[in-house]
Amino acid sequence: MVIFGAGGDLTRRKLIPAVYYLCRDRLVPEQFAVLGVDRRELDDEAFRERLDGGSREFIGAELDTANWQRMLQCVHFLPGDFTDPDMYQRLAGRLAELTEADGMAPNFLFYLATPPRFFAGISTQLDRAGLLEESGGNWRRVIIEKPFGNDLQSARDMNRQLHEAMDEHQIYRIDHYLGKETVQNILAFRFANSTIEPIWNRQYIDHVQITVSESIGVEGRGSYYDQSGALRDMIPNHLLAVLSIVAMEPSNSFNADAIRDEQTKVLRAIQPLSHDEVLTSSVRGQYGPGILADGTRVPGYREESEVAADSKTETYAALKLMIDSWRWAGVPFYLRTGKSLPGRFTEVVIQYKHGPNIMFRDSLLKREDVPPNTLVLRLQPNEGIGMNFNAKVPGHSTHLGTVQMNFRYDDYFDNAPTTGYETLLHDCMTGDATLFKRADNIEAGWELVDPVLEVWSALPVRDFPNYAAGTWGPTAGEQLLKRDGREWRACEACHTNVT
């Protein structure tokens, strides 16, 4: 495993801990090596010391010293500038040395833990150095992580450049949401339970909500975030990844391409928003100063470091999307995400339609007194699935109350993956691309987001900041559903639902 950008945060916080867990669980072969590449002038020993100091805290109490030391001995370092073609000759030489010395098969996983502007250049150089050539049954794979472009055109350009260096089957694009057990479990929930799938369609479902709410602000990532904004940062990747799993048709096998075909198909079935529709079906917001539920005062987005004092970048985005398919015709999918909201939670709400309630018509109830059933897939935290339904409140008269059936991961399983990255690394090493995004999927996501970006940049906002940190985003976000006679599900764990 070769890590470009080995001196960076991703390596220290995520990749090395993930490699540790894989080594500990004997999920990598005995002959396995990590080669870090970075500009720093380090040797193997100095790099190991650096990791020893920098990565331990991300494993915490679970760290087992013997396994940790064993893992560190597999780690090597090559100083070099990855824009320098000569470096790739040295890399090829070092890889030959390492593989020959330990009798390893020359299977290489290149992890590009670098800013995306280097993806194409590194791939081209790897190709020129012959390091991407798969022959004699050996594989060569490249992992990259979002952002995959910042609009449709740049995403297409990136895909084209990558394809000039290697085949699509060698590219593993990480969307870390697909690494989450709870996201993968949506497939199992839908397709391994015969009672769920028959009612997963427009006949029973009124609408779907997908929320990724974050209580943190931009946390020192101002220079990236101010260029990106909430829409680009979250929607074409994480929220559409969740949507595609919630809405896809069953594939006829668990084969990576069969599943990814279905995911892309459903993204392509979403009605692209016309420029006029963007005005009514999208909402953007930016937080100003505010007070969080615990009393902490939070500065406004424009006061964050490396953010322009008059920034027009959105920290909140919501969309209403419609899918043109027999399954979903007429069922809105409402998506929202934002920073500095009152709580951190990611959930999918499946709101079922009202029943006719004929039996209870004369006793006590208006239709609204009998809330429709709601299924909530809690992706994080408090991972699990809850179903709200109505029950008779014990007593002489007929009163109904809403109760909950609740599945919590903690009650059943104790082997949750520790970083999420180990699943993805292991899948890449074993050649299972199911949880990685394909080029067509990336482009299908940007096709949906592009019209929104176009309208938003053509019509600069005048009312930013338009929500206070610690509140649920701009009023327009509530209106998006209210106009349709609906509302966002209140967050149970967040103590407040005020805007």
Question: If you write DSSP's letter for every residue of 378-442 in order, what string do you get?
Answer: EEESS-EEEEEEEEEESSSS-EEEEEEEEEEHHHH-----SSSHHHHHHHHHTT--TTEE-HHHH
> Are 165 and 124 a contacting pair, CB within 8 Å?
yes
CB of 216 to ligand BG6, least distance (A): 7
Count of Cβ atoms closer than 10 Å to residue 416 Cβ: 12
CB of 146 to ligand BG6, least distance (A): 6
Q: How far apart are CA 279 and CA 369, in angstroms?
A: 33
CB of 431 to ligand BG6, least distance (A): 25
Closest to ligand BG6 by CB, 159 or 215:
215
Q: Which of 163, 238, 396, 495 is catalytic?
A: 238
Closest to ligand BG6 by CB, 134 or 181:
181
CB of 206 to ligand BG6, least distance (A): 26
Instruction: Tell me which residue has its CB nearest to ligand BG6.
Output: 233
Write each residue from 164 to 183 as x if it is in contact with ligand BG6 (CB under 6 A), else as -, in one continuous string: ------------x-------
The 3-state DSSP composition of the chain as helix, strand, coil percent (nearest 5) reads 40, 20, 40
Q: How far apart are CA 232 and CA 238, in angstroms?
A: 10
* Contact set for ligand BG6, span 19-48 (CB under 6 A): none
Count of Cβ atoms closer than 10 Å to residue 405 Cβ: 10
Closest to ligand BG6 by CB, 216 or 393:
216
Among 38, 233, 347, 422, binds ligand BG6 (CB under 6 A): 233
CB of 224 to ligand BG6, least distance (A): 8
CB of 130 to ligand BG6, least distance (A): 33
Looking at residue 286, its amino acid is: Q
> Are 419 and 174 a contacting pair, CB within 8 Å?
no
Number of residues that bind ligand BG6 (CB under 6 A): 4
Write each residue from 310 to 349 as x if it is in contact with ligand BG6 (CB under 6 A), else as -, in one continuous string: ------------------------------------x---
Closest to ligand BG6 by CB, 233 or 422:
233
Does residue 304 belong to the site contacting ligand BG6 (CB under 6 A)? no
Instruction: Give the closest residue to 122 by CA, choosing from 165, 155, 92.
Output: 165
Does residue 214 belong to the site contacting ligand BG6 (CB under 6 A)? yes
Question: Residue 76: helix, strand or coil by DSSP?
Answer: strand
Known catalytic membership, residue 238: yes
Q: How far apart are CA 345 and CA 211, in angstroms?
A: 8
Neighbour order of strands in the sheet with 171-174: 75-79, 34-38, 2-4, 108-112, 140-145, 171-174, 436-437
Token pair belonging to 144: 């990259």
* Contact set for ligand BG6, span 279-298 (CB under 6 A): none
Dihedral sign for Cα 183, 187, 193, 198, please. Answer: positive
Closest to ligand BG6 by CB, 77 or 172:
172
Closest to ligand BG6 by CB, 226 or 233:
233
Length of the chain in terms of residues written: 499
CB of 226 to ligand BG6, least distance (A): 12
Token pair belonging to 281: 């079906």
Closest to ligand BG6 by CB, 80 or 229:
229
Show which residues are catalytic: 238
Q: Which residues bind ligand BG6 (CB under 6 A)?
A: 176, 214, 233, 346
